[in-house]
Amino acid sequence: MADRQQETSVMVSIQEILQDAQNREVEEKAEAERRAREQEQRRLEEVKAKQEAEAARIRAEEEERQRREFEEQKRQAELKAVSEAALQKVKMEAESQARLAEIESRQEHERQLHALSQDKHKRRLTLIAAALGVVFFIGAIGAGVAISNISAGKARAEALARDLASQKEQVEQQQTALRMQLANATDPATIEALKAQLEASQKKLVVIQQQQHDTPRGPVGGGGAPRPTPPKPGGARAPCNCTPGDPLCTCL
């Protein structure tokens, strides 16, 4: 009887051990499946994060490319506008000087012809003819100087436009580099320094743009004395006190 009870107790213990082993096996299998699901979930999340990061990078590169294209188009348009304005200014000044020189030459020629019509002596006629030749010679020299000044003014205007455009492009490139550094900076001191550099660069850009807008507006050649205003035909004239037939008189 005691042997049978002992045998029954052993069988129960064996069954319990087997049951525990089965339970542990089931738990270990469930734990392994859970870990596998977690690893797969992490892997999917990492893949998704990489895809999102790649998409963000592509978007940022495209936006940067479009921004650079826009800045380049804007720079080209500003350079063209500055160049056209400078050329138009030089052209207008040249036309104005040419008209003024023509008026002065015509008036001088008319004065000399009038003096010739009043001169009854051959000697005086010869002197006036010589004076006319000198006047026309000086006028030719003045025309040559005016043309030279126009060419020099045009070259200076073009050189100034190119120099300002180059300076502006350098400052814009510097601003782009500073913005990229500022976007990646984490140190507060570095951020403040980059902001200060960016602000100084922006001020410099404003100065350059103002210089592009305020191109010189003086007469081409610079430094020359202003030409006298020619007398208006048909206006009131001062009384003439010259001796009739005087070739040096300008009021006859």
Instruction: Please name the residues in contact with 90: beta carbons below 8 A apart, sequence gap of 6 or more.
Output: 150, 153, 154, 157, 220
Residue 216: the pLDDT is 57
pLDDT < 70 positions in the chain: 1-7, 10, 115-131, 133-137, 139-140, 142-149, 151, 215-252
Residue 218: the pLDDT is 45
What digits encode the pLDDT tens for the residues 132-149?
766 666 766 766 666 666
Residue 40: the pLDDT is 92
Threshold 0.75, pTM exceeds: no
Residue 184: the pLDDT is 87
Q: How far apart are CA 185 and CA 180, in angstroms?
A: 9
Measured CA to CA in angstroms, residue 180 lies from 170, 174, 198 at distances of 16, 10, 11
